[in-house]
Structure 1
């Protein structure tokens, strides 16, 4: 079992710090430029993630995020995120960025969305000065995740096949076609030892402390939505608690906010140390 240390970065590097410069010329679709209008400044993540390059545009009429992916695998993820955002914006009241546009050319895919205020939970936990502040942040994380799992998903999402079965098929495909952390032995173990079936809910699908934003000392906004689906809520819980699994105070604070259920060690290992290794 591998559990990340909260003080270090993991695979999903978030945009907690930016380097800002003046700019007028950006290599983004012309349609995006018309939506954004007059750009005053452009900022970039201090560290870019592996799946897309991100730019933040600070314009006269607001702030915007542009994500750009070039590899086929990540272009498909970006298209999926665009479709997910459109549906969730239209059919739920979840706190997520607003979808604005999606464009493709021969080499790249681009997603434009609103830039929401806040810093990633990981960063907020690092700068928190007391244990009580950290507990309050994690409690709000649990509370906010509960709102996701209690939100009714778009109707057509409910009509899809079993999420876990689909994920195992995707895991096999990823193993055969991409570089992943998992291996054939682990995949066979996951297929043979599927956990007991529970009711599916709307899930974030990559619910780490990097993919939620904090404002006013409360988790408020979910970002990076390409894996959002009608799926197994235990997967979200496993990824949510992976950074503080062995900190009883923080773990208790999370479950006090979440309230819906707790996962076993076996379930945590299946989802975080198992299935997640293929994505």
Structure 2
């Protein structure tokens, strides 16, 4: 991207070796119950539900702090992509604006089925205005390639906060809340089939305070769309920057990606079934 020379495509095995995952990250055949979608906020199938309760957690983004309510919140909720980008670029709703070079709204396919959400921009992201462009971004690109995805093609990448936290620290709850209207609007505009949350701050931004990252992994969550549409399945996994420091958790992250891929396949199969049931005059499912 950004005019850089195109590099030769690598094979999947070469990508996995570059990520330090071979032979751990190898797609295994999924059982039928793994690919069950979330239906009406519940997990349809035994694998998708938490072992303790069998319930899928359905959550909307947490309520914003006073700086993000009222007129500002309502205004952002009616914006299109260009207005959203301009509003984020001039936003002063929290102290993160004081140290930014530029706001980093997001990047990718505006009709993407896949939405990946990280925590916040780092130094390189702040300089270039694009999320995940440093070492963590290279790892994310390799992770996407391992499940036959590519940045910009059916994939949109965003962050919980749009401005770089000082020293690349984890965003604070008040900062996440101040940025929440932007993230909510991005989700409404995209209407993705699946959301993948990378790191605890991303999970906090979308699901609220629902536990530690270790407890959220493998559980079934759904994002309750503010527009009243269908719940969007959510998968929680590790942030790529964490994986660069903690190599032994890469295998667990691969499990999360395999699970996300199974959920996406199930979601697309369900949509195709609804289209067939509606008949040829109904038009495509949005």
| TM-score, structure 2 as length reference | 0.25
Structure with larger RCO (C-alpha < 8 A, sep 6+): 2
Q: Which structure is higher in strand share? A: 1
| TM-score, structure 1 as length reference | 0.25
